[in-house]
Structure 1
Amino acid sequence: MTLLRSAAVAFFLAACAGGPDVEALQAGVDAAIAAKDYPGAVAKADEALKIEKILADPAKAWRFESGRVNALAAGGKGADVLSSLERLATPYSAQVTASLYLSLADKLRAAGDGAGYTNLLDAGKKKFPDEVAFQSKLDELKTSADPAEVERLKALGYL
């Protein structure tokens, strides 16, 4: 909780100083994620992504986009993760990689979003057809999945 208070103070001080302190804003996103306040992290990232100073610098903007999509995944919001990755694929093609898809898929699964996990693996397999890890994870689901995941695999044509 102390970390969240520190982040709130940093936001306040940044506002009083006449301009956004990008590091303080990022600390707020990071603090919310650390506190498992995933909706709060998404909201903080969204607010930061409205600031011209951040939007004008692709590296700074990516830090907030990355925090946002990681918070969505950790919060079990598979559909939002997938739409975010589709939106980010062109402006951040170097960052939106197969390993990012796989990492976010694992976070979705850990959050209990089995459908989001399966859908993201399917999308990743289509986007990165040479990356065998997608098929390996889909194959694992065939034997260890719960009934809902098996039905999702059938709907996607994997069974």
Structure 2
Amino acid sequence: MDLIGQLSQQLGVNGTQAQGLAGSLLKLVQGTVKEKLGPDASDQLGQAIPEMEGWQQAPSTTSAPQTAPDAGGGLMGALGNLMSGQEGGTGGMMSALGQAGDVAAVVALLGRFNIDASKASLVAPLLLNFLKSRLDPALVGRILSVVPMLSGGGAGGGNTPGGGGLGGLLGGLMGGGR
């Protein structure tokens, strides 16, 4: 699958923007995979997508720093720290916060590349299809368990406004239930 071509076509961006976005999104996924599944799974992801590092070097169209948020720092790290301090019995809330953090990180990345946030729901299925084309199905399943926004049927389940996954969460966050 040509991820760069698909992102360019679906999001209406040039190849450089698509490369930068792809690299940033994959770095975000890889960081979460490393944190939650361990370095071996993260290394498998990196080995299966050798062009990821080059894509991460593509310049963004804003003056923001050239580092994407990842699971160890930035927005994802802050949300992870907040959620890990919660008392027991808040699993659903923690899951929803985690997915909301994923959505916020994706929206922030889109903004770095001057892509309208309303297009965020197009990103997850493209990224998932790309991962399926490059990775062992068992690893894809493990990744979906820690990055449920990719599946379109996120951890929030049926009570997520606007449906599941990234699109449903984005719709809920942006007032899709009006």
TM surpasses 0.5: no
Q: Larger Cα Rg: Structure 1 or Structure 2?
A: 1
TM-score, length basis structure 1: 0.30
Q: Say which structure, 1 or 2, has more relative contact order (CA 8 Å, 6+ apart).
A: 2
